Structure 1
Amino acid sequence: MTCPDGCGETLTVNLDSRVGPAWRRFERHGQVTVYPSVWRDNGCRAHFIVWKDHILWCGPTDEYGVNAPDERLLVEVYASLSQTAYEHYESLADRLDTIPWEVLWACRALVRRGSAQQGEAGMFRATAYPSPSSNRGSLDHYA
């Protein structure tokens, strides 16, 4: 792929784990997502996420301008989180057969609203209250 920052360089994104460290490719509803982010450590030093055929630029805040996770995903992620042990969002995504970025953003939304706690480096666990399913009428406060 051509680097999206405009430097014109060709980037190689390995999708074959048999030949070394590789990105994972997800296709949902005809849109491609790549995980993890692409971070050039030389040249233009671009850092970005390919999510649903869009480029999301990474920055110091890790806020990507992504819409809030939908109700189904928030409830599903919350129901999968343990209240006693932290679990990495990638493991949750694998169990839920969901794109890791979306599980991470759902976990962060749950943390912001007090339904989950974040531990070290991408680790999350549920809190006892409030659960997303306790307010089925509106989950706007989970965004």
Structure 2
Amino acid sequence: MKWVFGASKGLLAMGGLIMVGCTYVPTYGVHGKLLSTEQQIIDCQYEAALDILQRFTVVGSSKEKARAFEYMGVVYQEKMDLEAFNHTVDRYMFNDVGRGADRAAVIQNWNETRRDIRERRVYVLGQAECATNFATSG
């Protein structure tokens, strides 16, 4: 009986380690600075996030480029800048990381990421949207 209990504890511990290890896989190999942009987007610090994201679309690994383009798409959606959003989608599709991808699927994935960020913003800030100044100069 003691062996069965010890074996089941060992299997349970091993399963737990596998589950914990799997949670880190999506961010493995992604620079911490790029990971921090998600929090900047949640905190409505769009311009600071865009500075970092622009850099990673050029010099990042394939994984980092894909994430940077996705977050840039989210920021431009949040800012309601359709022209910049479409340009970002086009850049992604032209880049090695997005070449051959279905445009509609890419936009849908980015929309899912935006929903997730908005849910986190509600939890952190108590609001889904950032205050935006729509006033135009002129």
Tell me if TM exceeds 0.5: no
TM-score normalised by the chain length of structure 1? 0.23
TM-score normalised by the chain length of structure 2? 0.24
More helix by share: 2
Q: Computing the radius of gyration over CA atoms, which structure comes out larger, 1 or 2?
A: 2
Larger relative contact order (C-alpha < 8 A, sep ≥ 6)? 2
